[in-house]
Structure 1
């Protein structure tokens, strides 16, 4: 490492000693400064990376800003003007990023001689204040353990920040008062632009606001824990009320209209009882919004006071020009972080109105509905005026009709909304009896759930709907036909649970047979594959919700693995489908069925007692039973192509019946998704239910035209129960 300044200084001392004959005492005195020069040069070397650290700080701040912008866009898109925190949240990742962004105010010893340096440090404090106000609602998304750990981590970060700033105020790093005075003494022409009193006062204000915001966060945490219990108690009452009309009955499916009403009622409960929504209505949230605005005003004034220094790039710290980048990025962040807290303050006014006003509101509309009949009479009646001019009478009559039409329609519309809102208001969850949801907010929630359903309708499974409409039989006969082997006869190599079946496994094996027929048109095969891809998504959903025992979970996972092998790799248990070598030996549809039957039997014999191969043997056993059943009634035609086409059509029909029978459980799945115990996940779950209803609405309506078996509703989710019932109703 070269130290040029130190070497130059030593050379200068040598010149003075040799050429100017200075005394040894003076030389010794001059040599006393070598150590200071050396240390200064070393510090300069060590501070060289500070420029890149400054860029790192700016990037960390930018990450926070991008997350806040994403939350703003999400709030606008979903019409939630309380701007819930979906992306920018208090967690380990973002707390680490925030800690990096707060490097400037935490830095105890870094010299900040320039005005830009000072404003950058103050700007970081302002940025932290606005971020804390912005983050407040996300506390409601956490359970008790997460809340404790995250608020503790935030407290440690804020307290560390506050202590460090307080130390810097005492040492003068923030105001830079001592160094500024010394610079003015050393260089009388040095223009001291820094106001030490102003900077100290601003830093003190930010410290106070940070502490108050921390107290607000802690207080909000305590309120959240209690409010969730209150809301959950009211939710259970509302859920019981909403569930009365959807009790499952044998032999019929729940009507789509009832499902839609059930989803809407739960959406109102989930929306009005959303933890973030409730938190947005807290007084602490409004207080944090006010503090956020105060911080933004102070930071704006600070920037205006030092605008000239910023333009002149007055940044003399080790961070160099990166300080300007930090200041610009974090100033933008202050503005963006203020939008959500400020919006929550205004939006809260429209969230809540007095229950007395609502009561009066309804009574007024009841009275107005009485007067609408009189308005109708007035509208039909003509005004008899002692005016001879026919034209003037026409003008007066037209004007009367227009006025009454406007007045009459406006009363009518409000009455309709009121009647509709009366029904929805019983599902609104609120913390305080005197506070209720505003009509406009309630109407917005109602509209939003309809949009979710409509969004689901736009992505409905067209191919699956076509398969069910064209191939499914009225009595779901394929569920009985696909496997008619006595299930009580268990092969000695298999355990009893290995002979169980599930919806998806039957569909996958039948699809495997259908797509292995080489003489079937490729477009028909691809159409069936696309239909099965769509169908298995909903079959899997039914099984995950309703077939939850360990045995069924094991079978379902085996079916998922097998489907991936069939759909992606075009293999069945490591055997290639439509293999050229296989095609030369196996030519007819019967031979293909025989090959699958024999291969499946051999796999069962080889892997039946191997614990690691149980899923494989379950899949093979299902295929063995299916092919054995089909072979009992299948006859080859003279034309091999026709026989393969016949087998393809019969397999497609059984696939359609099995999927259709499974999807008769969709109403039960939708109602289950509407009800979630965890309050933090309730809104997302109802959202999924609404979109699922939209996607499957046409399927449910189509299945209502089928002859639904008069089975016990608790047996409907199981293919074995269906097969037993259809075989012996």
Structure 2
């Protein structure tokens, strides 16, 4: 081993460059992964009718930063000789790749938490500054001897895009804090159905989606112009060096050899794909975005600073003091110049040519019931946004209604719940007398149906199996959100999901019925057979949570008197309906808790899930008296300010006063007076929970 490094006292470096072609393939592979992630986001945006291309897979996170650091190895390579045209071009393609990626993933800063956003932006800044410094060194030492003007243009664009990231990160976090409050307050209209409230929440979620808000900002739209400029610079450099060959290069070969062409091709394609994604954003948003004055960035940054000053966890994203004023001023000037020179002419031209799509009569009809949401202000919906949100909401609701719980609805229409859910209360009383404190859970329902399926003929109990299949995920969600968080309840919830996912009860019959007694068993009446199976099913299972629950259920059934198998099935069916309704009436409470406990960047997904769930059970609203938070004081609960949101509340009040000072007053929500409803104290919230 020593002889390979040192021969006759001299360093033997003959094999140092031998791995370079393989490293070139590694660079090309990292670039290809970036390309695939970009294309996935673009296709996903079109599939979900969000042509402003939100970033899901290719976003500002550790994976993306790692891929970019690998893909940009060539621009930071200070010593490897690059004599050929493709070698010199590879430096430019790597630099342009980072610049376009910055523009493409810019909206994703709204999808991260504050601390994660800060760490990712710092990592991106380190990468960008490293590339800029290394490119400058190579231009000075002669490693890069071509495309000097192109490198300077792209490095300037890269630094501007990095500046935009730093400016809009705190602004995005401030908007997220405000939007979560508005979405919670959407529940305050107690006269509306649960589905209607969730629709209202969804419209505000769509409008206040952090990525949508960033894409709808004129300055962020400037990233498209910069990406387009960088792509144009790269394409003209590629044409001059590889097609027309009007430039002079050196002879020889680089250490990367044939892998260099693969690197250049994959990076050019990736740059074009990223630029295409940003173009789709501008084509979608720029015709509807409001053209703001040059002080917009300064105002937004000041609003963000107000949030940061009242939330020390975000202090690192702030720009306070004299340095902050200089930074905001510089950002305002640079970004306003970009807007004025690149984006505003496009917006004006499109509007003069009348290219803004006219709303159809069908569109107007669809948004009629939500017209009151069209208002001016920080969180108001403009007509175009409202129309798009209603369209998407309608599509999701219609898709969910195609999966309606038909078996459950048929069962409930045939067997409505008993008076005051008496069967369910009898079971609870039986539980309390046998084991005080033991709670009815989804495991109770699952075991009831599983025992019924092996003891009662399938033609009778088939509707129960189908009904529970349609609604099990919902009652499991309700139990997970509303039951006490004890270890026992968590274990019962896990057992319920496992038992419902695996149909193992049918294998228990041979253990229940002894082989020597099969003929005798067949001679029994259907009722006696069912009773025998119910009595023996406990012996076939080990002693655990399932056995304890099964013991209580089977004991409760055996305490009843039945004259026929039909009477037994009727009893089980009514018990199942009562238990099911007892869970479903808690669905609004579970949804409320799901939304309130979610992070701002996750609210839209939670509201969408809740809206789909309610849409699936919409017909139940006539049968189920929904149970809202205690005393039906939804307004008080929605506007609560717990220890985690007190700072946000005071911040929002200051933000609203700031916005009022700048003539952008925040409007009240639909059905809401100008005064915010009184809030509960922290002690009251804890008591309610």
Q: What is the TM-score of this pair, normalised by structure 1?
A: 0.67
Distance (whole Å) between structure 2 residues aligned to residue 205 and residue 567 of structure 1: 59
Displacement of 1:541 in angstroms is 1.5
Matches within 5 A, 1:288-327: 288-308=223-243, 316-327=253-264
**Structure 2 residue aligned with 1:282:** 217
Q: Distance in 2 between matches of 1:563 and 1:308?
A: 63
CA distance in structure 2 between the partners assigned to 1:232 and 1:512 by the alignment = 42
Deviations 1:148-204 (A, max 9, x none): 2111111122222222222211221111xxxxxxxxxxxxxxxxxxxx3xx222223
The answer as to 2:163 corresponding to 1:215 is yes
Say whether 1:501 aligns with 2:440.
Answer: yes
- Correspondence for 1:73: 43
Match of 2:271 among 325, 334, 337: 334
Residue 700 of structure 1, CA deviation: 3.6
8 Å CA contact 2:52–2:212 kept in 1: the answer is yes
Cα distance change on mapping 1:352 and 1:284 into 2, 3 Å? closer
Query: Relative to 1, partners in 2 of residues 1:70 and 1:310: Cα closer, same or farther, differing over 3 Å?
Result: farther
Distance in 1 between residues matched to 2:591 and 2:93, nearest whole Å: 50
In the alignment, the residues of structure 1 paired with residue 245 and residue 618 of structure 2 have an alpha-carbon distance, to the nearest angstrom, of 61
* 1:111 counterpart SS class: coil
SS at 1:81 equivalent: coil
**Structural mapping, 1:243-642, within 5 Å:** 243-246=187-190, 258-308=193-243, 316-353=253-290, 420=369, 422-425=371-374, 430=378, 437-473=381-417, 475=419, 477=421, 479-480=423-424, 483=427, 485-489=429-433, 496-497=436-437, 499-502=438-441, 504-517=442-455, 520-521=457-458, 528-547=464-483, 549-551=484-486, 554-565=488-499, 567-568=501-502, 570-571=504-505, 576-579=508-511, 581-582=513-514, 585=517, 587=521, 588-596=529-537, 616-617=544-545, 619-635=546-562
The size of the alignment, in residue pairs, is: 553
Task: Give 1:108 deviation, angstroms.
Answer: 1.6
1:133 maps to 2:103: yes
Change (3 A) 1:635 1:524: closer
Query: Contact 1:51 / 1:320 at 8 angstroms: preserved in 2?
Result: yes
Listed as ranges, the gaps of 5+ residues in structure 2 are 293-357, 522-528, 633-689
Tell me the equivalent position of 2:116: 146
Aligned pair in 2 of structure 1 residues 648, 577: CA closer, same or farther (>3 Å)?
Answer: farther
CA distance in 1, matches of 2:153, 2:629: 65
State yes or no: 1:698 paired with 2:619.
yes
Please list, as runs of the form range in 1=range in 2, the aligned pairs for 1:9-20 lying within 5 A after superposition: none
Distance 1:89 1:146, change over 3 A: same
Q: Deviations over 1:286-311 (max 9, x none)?
A: 23222111101101101110223899
Q: CA deviation at 1:715?
A: 10
2:74·2:91 contact (CA, 8 Å) conserved in 1?
Answer: yes
CA 1:218–1:353 in structure 2 vs 1: closer, same or farther (change >3 Å)?
A: closer
CA contact (8 A) 2:218 2:291 kept: no
Q: 1:507 to 1:229 in 2, by over 3 A?
A: closer
**8 Å Cα contact 2:52-2:280 kept in structure 1:** yes
Instruction: Determine if contact 2:423/2:578 at 8 Å carries over to the other structure.
Output: yes
Secondary structure of the 2:386 match is helix
Matched-pair contact (CA < 8 Å) for 1:478–1:658: no
User: Residue 531 of structure 1: CA displacement?
Assistant: 3.0
Q: Distance in 1 between matches of 2:553 and 2:272?
A: 66
Contact 1:273–1:429 (Cα < 8 Å) also in 2: no
Shift of the 213–630 alpha-carbon distance from structure 1 to 2, 3 Å rule, reads same
Note closer, same or farther for the CA distance 1:475–1:488 as it changes in structure 2 (3 Å cut). Answer: closer
1:393 counterpart residue number: none
Deviation per residue, 1:104-142 (Å, 9 max, x gap): 112222221110111122111111100011111101111
Please tell me whether the aligned partners of residues 310 and 324 of structure 1 are also in contact (alpha carbons under 8 angstroms): no
Cα distance between partner residues in 1 of 2:608 and 2:360: 33
Q: Do 1:476 and 1:658's aligned partners in 2 also have CA atoms closer than 8 Å?
A: no
C-alpha distance in 2 between matches for 1:457 and 1:110: 62
- Post-superposition Cα deviations, 1:463-483, rounded to whole Å, max 9, x if no partner, equal 433443444545475743762
Local SS of the residue matching 1:655: helix
The whole-number CA distance in structure 1 between the counterparts of 2:431 and 2:530 is 26
Q: Would the aligned equivalents of 2:227 and 2:275 in 1 still touch at CA under 8 Å?
A: yes
The correspondence for 2:586, drawn from 665, 676, 687, is: 665
* 1:203-250: CA deviation from partner (whole Å, max 9, x where unpaired): 2332232222222211222322333344455x16xx43x333326xxx
Q: CA shift at 1:416, angstroms?
A: 6.2
For structure 1, the 5+ residue unaligned runs are 4-32, 176-195, 248-254, 356-408, 608-615, 638-642, 717-729
Structure 2 length-normalised TM = 0.71
Cα 1:208–1:34 change in 2 (3 A) is: farther
1:461 and 1:413 map into 2 onto residues whose CA distance is 29
Change (3 A) 1:486 1:682: closer
Distance in 1 (CA, whole Å) between partners of 2:260 and 2:461 is 64
Q: Deviations over 1:335-370 (max 9, x none)?
A: 111123233334343333489xxxxxxxxxxxxxxx
CA drift at 1:52: 1.9
SS of alignment partner, residue 433 of structure 2: coil
**CA positional deviation for 1:555:** 2.1
What does the per-residue CA deviation read over 1:588-646, in whole Å, with 9 as the maximum and x for residues that have no partner? 3222233346788xx7xxx7xxxxxxxx24x4333223222222223475xxxxx4x65
**8 Å contact from structure 2 (residues 195, 615) kept in 1:** no
Question: Shift of residue 413 of structure 1?
Answer: 8.1
Match of residue 103, structure 1, among 53, 63, 73:
73
Cα-Cα RMSD:
3.9
Contact 1:83 1:344 (C-alpha < 8 Å) held by counterparts: yes
